[in-house]
Structure 1
Amino acid sequence: MKIVDAQVHIWSQTITPPSGLHRKVSRFTAEECLKEMDEAGVDAALIHPPYSWDPDSGAVALAAAKKYPDRFAVMGQFAPDKPENRKLIQGWRNQPGMMGLRWALLSDQEQKKLHDGSLDWVWPAAEKEGLPVAMLGGLFLDTFRDIAERHPNLKLILDHCGLNRHGQDEAAFIHLDKLVALAKLPNVAIKATGAPHYSTKGYPFRNIQDGLHRIFDAFGPKRFFWGTDITRMQCSYRQCVTFFTEELPWLKGRDLEDVMGRGLCDWIGWKLETRATS
């Protein structure tokens, strides 16, 4: 089984400290990431450049994908509210290793752009280019749903399980009904990244397993992608893997293979030829 992490960060500098719970280190290189991936049995990973603390992280990610094409690909971004950047989206995937676009839109200021018209051009342009777009849509589910409904040919990805980013345990699942209802839209998928963060109970995070099961049942194995956001996790990389491969009794066989990498690669068009892990 090929194991593909749906989200990692690498960076070369910290202009500002890494956000939230991310490791407070000055840099985290592609080679350091690969070492941890090898130890955990992970074949490949999708890099999300952390522009908020390293403005050069996009170039760093593309360089990693060029150097290790069988290990890394990239979900890039640019400042979408700057008119001069609109030309960038055409031919975006011509950059070797580039798979699509990702904006976290974590802050209130960033989310205002969803409502003031600054980003309205992005969705039809990405739809036309066939670019998947990932966002922390759990912070603005109604707006996320509206975008998905208005652009049915735009592949959208909900980051970090689509849950309440600011809550843990039961508080993480406060909008679960609204979240699983999104699964009725065939152009919406979900990255089950960062799942351990939502539990305060420690491995194997039993108190969030039922909630994850309900999300999986709604979206199915081809739209539910395992991943880590490893530099923000409180558990080991290997535990992030085995939480899904060994601790979820409802995830087996071909479904497990889809969740652990095949579904992600199909969704974003990553024609990955990975080496076999031991």
Structure 2
Amino acid sequence: MNAAVLDLVDEFTVHTVYTADRLLADMDRNGIDEAVLVGYPICEWTDNWYTLQVAEAYDRLYGIVMLDPFAEGAADQLRRCMETDGILGFRLGAACPADQMWETFDPGVTWLRDAIAETEFWQAAVETDATVQLLCDHGQLDQALELVDRYPGLAYLFDHFAHAGPETPTDEGTFAQFAELAAYDTVAVKVSEIPHMSETTFPYADMHDHVRWFLETFGRERVIWGSDYPNVSDVASYPEARHWLRQVDSLSEGDRAWLTGRAFRRHVGLD
């Protein structure tokens, strides 16, 4: 592992090599039965070998791979990944440059609109029933709407409040386009990475209005909690990333049961 990678993960409180076994140990300590591993290869971003290996080897872990829809043979690569037990779909980092869909953010890029024309890739997604996970900025939701409108039969997951912070208004401007996405039953939103989105500490109360807005707009059946651990381990422990949801006023135990398990399983077809 080179020095640049070590510098990148230096602020994480977890072991530099955060293996599936370490994840499972953290899950056991925090009462979590199953988890989804979202591939985040920090050396070569389309190298999904470990995600594939983990998803196949551990019954409690599922996988989301990273793919480049513009790459030669992308459709076949998707088909091969989806043949692996436990792989649920792929993630597109629409808030990043097209050739580096992680860590380097540029909310001004528009390549997601161009990717819609990669029909062979999207046909493979439809054929394999792949879940599409999108990391985009709320200023890019117009592009996402075009994608969903073109391929409405796929299941979509939107990450991290679309990078909206506590001061981003929910009922006007770019974030409010989520209301248009909510018209599609195949779209779900994730309340994830909240320790980074928030400008406060646990329980991140300045983001709770955004959580409530998602619930009002999408219904609890299409709002999904995600820890984003260990990515948030520079500012939060696993218990903090897990238990902040208990502190959101107006959420019932039934709501929390949906957000922390039932909604995801239903949305991606695991039930």
TM-score class, shorter: 0.7 to 0.9
Q: Distance in 1 between matches of 2:177 and 2:73?
A: 36
1:231/1:215 CA distance change after superposition, 3 Å: same
Q: Distance in 2 between matches of 1:132 and 1:187?
A: 10
Deviation of 1:19 (Å): 6.0
The corresponding residue for 2:187 is 188
Q: Which runs of 5+ in 2 are unaligned?
A: 100-108
The corresponding residue for 2:252 is 252
Is this contact kept in 2: 1:136–1:160, CA < 8 A?
yes
Query: 47-56 vs 72-81, which deviates more?
Result: 47-56
Query: 38-47 vs 116-125, which deviates more?
Result: 116-125
Deviation of 1:113 (Å): 3.2
Deviations 1:86-123 (CA, angstroms, capped at 9, x unpaired): 22333643211111111223323454432445863233
The corresponding residue for 1:227 is 226
Provide the aligned C-alpha RMSD in A. Answer: 2.8
Query: 59-68 vs 128-137, which deviates more?
Result: 59-68
**Residue 126 of structure 2 corresponds to residue 127 of structure 1:** yes
Q: Distance in 1 between matches of 2:181 and 2:116?
A: 24
Equivalent position SS for 2:49 = helix
Q: Distance in 2 between matches of 1:61 and 1:45?
A: 12
Q: Distance in 2 between matches of 1:56 and 1:182?
A: 28
Query: 253-262 vs 121-130, which deviates more?
Result: 121-130
Deviations 1:11-39 (CA, angstroms, capped at 9, x unpaired): xx569538699738642111111122222
Q: Distance in 2 between matches of 1:199 and 1:155?
A: 27
**Residue 37 of structure 2 corresponds to residue 35 of structure 1:** no
Corresponding residue pairs, total: 254
1:185/1:133 CA distance change after superposition, 3 Å: same
The corresponding residue for 2:209 is 210
1:22-61 superposed matches below 5 A = 23=12, 26-53=16-43, 58-61=48-51
Deviation of 1:209 (Å): 0.7
Q: Which amino acid aligns with 2:236?
A: C
Deviation of 1:134 (Å): 0.4
Q: Distance in 2 between matches of 1:183 and 1:118?
A: 20
Is this contact kept in 1: 2:110–2:143, CA < 8 A?
no
Deviation of 1:85 (Å): 2.7
Q: Distance in 2 between matches of 1:116 and 1:109?
A: 10
The corresponding residue for 1:242 is 243
Query: 258-267 vs 155-164, which deviates more?
Result: 155-164
Normalising by structure 2, we get a TM-score of: 0.82
Q: Distance in 1 between matches of 2:229 and 2:214?
A: 21
Deviation of 1:74 (Å): 0.4
Deviations 1:210-260 (CA, angstroms, capped at 9, x unpaired): 12101111111111111111122212111222111x211322133221111
Deviation of 1:78 (Å): 2.9
Is this contact kept in 2: 1:91–1:129, CA < 8 A?
no
Equivalent position SS for 1:73 = strand
1:22/1:77 CA distance change after superposition, 3 Å: farther
% identical aligned pairs: 21
Q: Which runs of 5+ in 1 are unaligned?
A: 1-12, 272-278
1:94-109 superposed matches below 5 A = 94-109=83-98
Q: Which amino acid aligns with 1:135?
A: L
**Residue 255 of structure 2 corresponds to residue 266 of structure 1:** no
Equivalent position SS for 1:114 = helix
Where relative contact order (Cα < 8 A, 6+ residues apart) is larger, the structure is: 1
Deviation of 1:58 (Å): 2.0
Is this contact kept in 2: 1:80–1:118, CA < 8 A?
no
